[in-house]
A and B are shown apart, each in its own frame.
Chain A
Amino acid sequence: MLLVAQSGWTSSPVYLEALRSEQVQDNDVELLKGVASQDEAALAALYDRYRVILFGLLVRILNNREEAEDVLQEVFLQVWRRAADFDENRGRPFTWLVTLARSRGIDRLRTLAARERVAVAGAKDEAEAVSDAASDAFRSEQRGLVTNALAQLPDEQQHPLMLAYFDGLTQTEIAARLGAPLGTVKTRMRTGMMKLREMLAGKDASFGFRV
């Protein structure tokens, strides 16, 4: 839910802060260092900063709030135990956290599928309003950038990317699901990813996070 009018958005302090992505990222790196040295407050701050985006991702993957909350706990416990593995020279904290959460989410999805306990299709939970208006608007902006970029991809490129990312399917599984030749699926996925990278390049300033 967008609580800040788009017209006033670009001049808001939140937007200006978002542009200082280096600062935000440095802050995340410092938090992860704190977590690595078993600083409980640092983990709590990291949770407060990323809970909404990671929980949204997990609900999207698992289609079930309860399972998603359980995996979210696992993710932050893993962050607590493995924060020392984070290498700031290899990527951003945002990427590390999202990759970790997505991987855990897909693992749980496969476990549930194996137990034939996948949540009832269509019972998707609706997003809840985020209490802090500025944060909500900020996240909406970030989300807007990505969804706009995705919307510009032809369905034949966008669909396989979604199946891979949110359903955890391999290229062979995607080809079978879509009834398309494997080679074609590979080409479409690569092309889709290249376009996404191009469209989102230079927008990194908007991918910093704040509380």
Chain B
Amino acid sequence: MVHDDYKEMIPAHALAALDAGDERALNEHLAGCAECHRDMAEWEETAAKLALSAKPMEPSPQVREKILNKIRAEKSPSKVLPFPSPRRTIWGAIAAVLLFGALLVSVIVLWQQNRELRRQNQFAELLTAPGSRIAELSGTNEAPGSTAKLAYDKNGRAFLIANGLPQAPEGKEYQLWYIVDNKPLPGKTFATDNSGHGRLEDQVPEAARQSAIFAITLEPAGGVRTPTGAIYLRGEL
């Protein structure tokens, strides 16, 4: 449509008689056309005069009273709001702090739950992805009851979940190793909780993806380049 087409639509627009599609198109045009905008104001004046063709009628006197009562009711709340007393303010502040604390705890718990769920989902996705591999690690004499599972996909993205490990002494952490041709390649370190449960997200070196022995040792916190501690868990594909 061109400018003149829109211009011709304006009288019907002033009567609010345009169909929805025309109304939308004209409104878009009006937003950028000062001339049509001016025209619209003039046509609205003409349309409004049609109201005068209706017979003038007197509403009942109660209407005026109802309107004035309602606007008084709308005005009054802001005028009569009591000023809060100091006592109320202190209790209000305490309540607000408690409420904020509770809210904060809830947010943290939810965040942790969400993180845990996300990890579980990632682990499940990794287990079911085509080409994924799973290695089961069993405890050595250092930790006879412990077990672990290491799963990784074809790109080497790996998750390790370990259970039953003794709690690592202060300054020590467990470290994952990838042993290829008797040569240990260092993985990341992890800590365990009170129940001996630990988990780790790591990247399996390319050399270790097809065939390797996986081991977990206890090492100085932060890990080392070559193993120094005893092996706690061991397994292979």
Separation of A126 and B63 alpha carbons in the complex (Å): 18
Q: Are B15 and A189 in contact (CB under 8 A)?
A: yes
Q: Are B43 and A193 in contact (CB under 8 A)?
A: yes
Separation of A164 and B15 alpha carbons in the complex (Å): 6
Decide yes or no: A189 and B54 within 8 Å by CB, A55-B59, A92-B45 being known contacts.
no
CB distance from B24 to the nearest CB of A (A): 13
**Any chain A CB within 8 A of the CB of B57?**
yes
Q: Are A143 and B8 in contact (CB under 8 A)?
A: no
**Mind listing 30 A-B residue pairs with CB under 8 Å?**
A40-B71, A40-B75, A47-B67, A51-B64, A53-B51, A53-B52, A53-B54, A55-B56, A55-B57, A55-B59, A69-B63, A72-B63, A76-B67, A80-B71, A90-B41, A94-B48, A95-B44, A102-B48, A126-B55, A127-B57, A128-B58, A129-B58, A139-B52, A140-B56, A146-B53, A165-B51, A166-B50, A171-B17, A172-B19, A193-B47
**Any chain B CB within 8 A of the CB of A208?**
no
**Any chain B CB within 8 A of the CB of A111?**
no
**Interface 1/0 per residue, B20-59 and A, CB below 8 Å:** 1010000000000000000001111111111111111111
Q: Are A170 and B19 in contact (CB under 8 A)?
A: yes
By a beta-carbon cutoff of 8 Å, the part of chain A in contact with chain B is 38, 40, 43-44, 47-48, 51-57, 59-60, 68-69, 72-73, 76-77, 80, 90-92, 94-95, 98-99, 101-103, 106, 125-131, 136, 139-140, 142-143, 145-147, 150, 161, 164-166, 168-172, 174, 186, 189-190, 193-194, 196-197, 200, 207
In the complex, chain A residues whose CB is within 8 Å of the CB of B50 = 146, 150, 161, 165-166, 196
Q: Are B17 and A197 in contact (CB under 8 A)?
A: no
CB distance from B234 to the nearest CB of A (A): 76
Q: Are A40 and B72 in contact (CB under 8 A)?
A: yes
Q: Told that A174-B17, A197-B46 touch, could you supply 13 new A-B pairs with CB distance under 8 A?
A: A40-B72, A76-B67, A80-B67, A80-B71, A95-B44, A102-B16, A103-B16, A127-B57, A143-B53, A150-B53, A166-B50, A171-B12, A171-B22
Separation of A103 and B44 alpha carbons in the complex (Å): 13
Q: Which 10 A-B pairs have the closest CB atoms?
A: A60-B54, A164-B17, A193-B11, A127-B55, A98-B48, A95-B48, A164-B15, A56-B57, A146-B52, A55-B59
Separation of A126 and B19 alpha carbons in the complex (Å): 33
In this complex, the member of B18, B19, B22, B49 whose beta carbon has the largest number of chain A beta carbons within 10 angstroms is B49
Q: Are B51 and A102 in contact (CB under 8 A)?
A: yes
**Any chain A CB within 8 A of the CB of B66?**
yes
Q: Residue on A with the closest CB to B72? A: A40
In the complex, chain B residues whose CB is within 8 Å of the CB of A136 = 56
Q: Are B57 and A128 in contact (CB under 8 A)?
A: yes
Q: Are A44 and B68 in contact (CB under 8 A)?
A: yes
**Any chain A CB within 8 A of the CB of B14?**
yes
Checking A38, A56, A164 against B56 with a beta-carbon cut-off of 8 angstroms, the contacting residue is A56
CB distance from A74 to the nearest CB of B (A): 9
**Any chain A CB within 8 A of the CB of B88?**
no
In the complex, chain A residues whose CB is within 8 Å of the CB of B49 = 146, 196, 200, 207
Decide yes or no: A91 and B45 within 8 Å by CB, A77-B70, A161-B15, A161-B50 being known contacts.
yes
Separation of A106 and B47 alpha carbons in the complex (Å): 14
Q: Are B52 and A145 in contact (CB under 8 A)?
A: yes
Q: Are B75 and A38 in contact (CB under 8 A)?
A: yes
Q: Residue on B with the closest CB to A101? A: B51
Decide yes or no: A52 and B12 within 8 Å by CB, A90-B41, A98-B51 being known contacts.
no
Separation of A56 and B59 alpha carbons in the complex (Å): 9
Q: Are A130 and B64 in contact (CB under 8 A)?
A: no
Separation of A136 and B72 alpha carbons in the complex (Å): 30
In the complex, chain B residues whose CB is within 8 Å of the CB of A169 = 17
Decide yes or no: A130 and B42 within 8 Å by CB, A95-B48, A164-B17, A189-B11 being known contacts.
no
